[in-house]
């Protein structure tokens, strides 16, 4: 997929710029696309006391979020951006979004998480009030496409994407001699992953290493000591753990209504061997047996682990083809964000002006590759 040729916009980027956050990668991707990007980091409005921030997370209402809303409006008034890009807007009120639009900015909502699925993250109170206000909604799930079509809201179908500066191949001389992890899962214990991975380790006697946050909630102290290596991995640590793994597992978060695993694209971009949960969208993204491998059960997963641990040359070939596919098909942040900006430009051109409340933008849609 070729990257879209987009105009230069003045963008107020509203999101976390924390180290290792995918929102930080997107901020830098917009800058690589030659956009004039002004950061508005809503986390700068955090309280000094942790208990207050916990309250805001669960109850983002009234005085708990009044400061961040007022500061955003003030930033829009000062900077006069063409676009205000909201990355997971869970603190902002309908009145704030409407005021931003009244000030002439086109609003984009980019939210990788799922507020409408069965997983209750407890942070969606304000989002559920504002999602109808945005001029362009970036959707990642097939289930959300159906919802937004039914609601008559404007959207573009995009996808989970990798960062072309963060998710890169290992040095050219990298080999199994450098891979100290036989089989890895790097991530969180959503859904039934703890049972699945325990089964691989205990029943099938496979050398699986787990890294990531919150595993102490599902594993005993003995299991933690035996199964896990390190906690949350970010940036270079995350990338290098993928490099050091002969086989990288990826699971779909069904409780989030996901159709693919975000890390599937990151693993492929790192030119590493991907063994992911089988789905129609995974199979559309990578050719099975050529560019990645997939499983539908713990038994099939175990069988493929044993096979590919014993066939390193095939692993290398599949990893190489997966890397080529990820690059050729535009699964990176820069390509996907350029598509979003191009769609915003088309909507603006069709309307002849920037978005206003109740404008025609809310009735237009654009599907793209998932």
Residues 147 and 208 in one domain: no
Residues 141 and 263 in one domain: no
103 plus 68 within the same structural domain: yes
Collapsing DSSP to helix, strand or coil, 222 comes out as helix
Q: Which CATH number belongs to the domain containing residue 23 in this structure? A: 3.40.50.2000
Q: Are residues 155 and 206 in the same domain?
A: no
Which has the closest alpha carbon to 359: 178, 191, 154? Answer: 154
Q: Which domain holds residue 127?
A: 10-161+332-366
- Residue 343 pLDDT > 80: yes
Q: Facing residues of 288 across strands?
A: 292
Whether residue 106 is contained in a domain is answered as yes
Regarding beta strands 136-139 and 155-157, do their DSSP bridges make them parallel or antiparallel, or are they unpaired?
A: parallel
Residue among 20, 310, 60 at smallest CA distance from 176: 310
CA atoms within 13 A on the CB side of 72: 30
Mean predicted confidence (pLDDT) in 207-213: 98
User: What percent of the chain has a predicted confidence (pLDDT) above 90?
Assistant: 82
- SS3 string, 347-368, reads HHHHHCCCCCCCCHHHHCEECC
Cα-Cα-Cα-Cα torsion 324, 328, 329, 335, nearest 10 degrees, comes to 120
- Tally Cβ neighbours within 10 Å of residue 73: 16
* Residue 169 contacts residue 270 (beta carbons within 8 Å): yes
Mean pLDDT of 183-203: 98
Contact of 273 with 207, CB cutoff 8 Å: no
Are residues 148 and 192 located together in one domain of the fold?
Answer: no
pLDDT above 70 coverage of the chain, percent: 89
Mean pLDDT of 124-133: 95
Residue tagged 């409780």 (tokens): 255
CA distances from 328 to 117, 159, 282, 286 (A): 32, 15, 16, 11
pLDDT band at 119 (very low <50, low <70, confident <90, very high): confident
- pLDDT band (50, 70, 90) for residue 364: very low
Write out pLDDT tens, residues 14-60: 999 998 999 999 999 999 999 999 999 866 555 555 555 555 555 56
Compute the distance between CA of residue 57 and CA of residue 199 in angstroms, rounded to an integer. 35
Give the mean pLDDT of 183-188.
Answer: 98
Mean pLDDT, rounded, of the chain = 91
* CA 206 remoteness from chain centre: 29
The total of structural domains in the chain comes to 2
Average pLDDT of the residues in 339-353 = 90
Position 234 confidence tier, pLDDT thresholds 50, 70, 90:
very high
Could you please report the per-residue DSSP string of 68-100? HHHHHHHHHHHH--SEEEEES--S--HHHHHHH
Rg for the chain, CA atoms, rounded? 21
Q: Whose CA is closest to 91, among 135, 67, 126?
A: 126
Distance separating alpha carbons of residues 222 and 242, to the nearest angstrom: 25
In a domain, 291, yes or no: yes
**55 and 34 fall within a common domain:** yes
pLDDT at 57: 55
Q: Rounded distance, CA 29 to CA 164, Å?
A: 9
pLDDT higher at 37 or 64: 37
Non-local (6+) Cβ contacts of 226 within 8 A are 201
For residue 168, being part of any structural domain is answered with no
Q: List pLDDT tens digits, range 268-278.
A: 999 999 999 99
| Structure-token pair, residue 175 | 């080999």
Per-residue burial over 141-170, b if 16 or more Cβ lie within 10 Å, else e, is beebbeebeeeebbbbbbbbbbbbebbeeb
170 is a domain residue: no
End-to-end CA distance of the chain: 12
Domain shared by 154 and 182, yes or no: no
pLDDT at 252 over 70: yes
How sure is the predictor about 330, in pLDDT bands with cuts at 50, 70 and 90?
very high
In this predicted structure, what is the pLDDT of residue 134?
98
Residue 5 in domain? no
pLDDT tier at 323, thresholds 50, 70, 90: very high
259 and 134 fall within a common domain: no
Which pLDDT belongs to residue 297? 98
Residue 34 domain-assigned? yes
């Amino acid at each position: 997929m070729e990257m879209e040729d987009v105009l230069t916009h003045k963008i107020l980027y509203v999101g976390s710029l924390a180290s290792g956050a995918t929102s930080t990668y997107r901020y830098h991707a917009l800058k690589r696309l030659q956009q004039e990007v002004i950061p508005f980091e809503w986390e700068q409005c955090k309280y000094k006391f942790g208990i207050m921030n916990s309250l805001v997370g669960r109850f983002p209402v009234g005085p708990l979020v009044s400061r961040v809303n007022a500061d955003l409006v003030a930033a829009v008034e000062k900077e006069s951006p063409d676009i205000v890009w909201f990355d997971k807007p869970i603190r902002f009120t309908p009145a704030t979004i409407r005021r931003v639009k009244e000030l002439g900015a086109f609003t984009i909502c980019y939210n990788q998480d799922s507020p409408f699925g069965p997983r209750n993250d407890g942070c969606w109170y304000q989002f559920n009030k504002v999602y109808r206000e945005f001029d362009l909604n970036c959707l990642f799930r097939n289930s959300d496409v159906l919802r937004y079509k039914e609601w008559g809201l404007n959207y573009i179908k995009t996808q989970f994407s990798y960062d072309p500066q963060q998710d890169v191949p290992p040095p050219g001389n990298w080999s199994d001699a450098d891979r100290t992890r036989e089989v890895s899962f790097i991530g969180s214990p959503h859904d039934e992953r703890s049972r699945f991975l325990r089964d691989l380790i205990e029943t099938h006697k496979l050398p699986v290493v787990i890294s990531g946050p919150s595993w102490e909630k599902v594993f005993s102290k003995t299991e933690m000591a035996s199964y896990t290596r390190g906690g949350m991995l970010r940036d270079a640590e995350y990338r290098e753990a993928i490099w050091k793994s002969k086989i990288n597992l990826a699971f779909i978060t069904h409780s989030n209504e996901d159709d693919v695993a975000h890390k599937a694209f990151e693993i492929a971009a790192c030119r590493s061997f991907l063994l992911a949960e089988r789905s129609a969208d995974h199979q559309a993204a990578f050719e099975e047996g050529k560019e990645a491998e997939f499983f539908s059960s713990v038994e099939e997963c175990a069988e493929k682990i044993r096979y590919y641990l014993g066939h390193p040359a095939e692993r290398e070939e599949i990893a190489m083809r997966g890397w080529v596919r990820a690059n050729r098909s535009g699964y990176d942040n820069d390509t996907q964000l350029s598509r979003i900006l191009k769609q915003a430009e088309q909507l603006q051109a069709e309307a002849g002006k920037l978005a206003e409340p109740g404008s025609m933008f809310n009735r237009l849609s654009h599907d793209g590759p998932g």
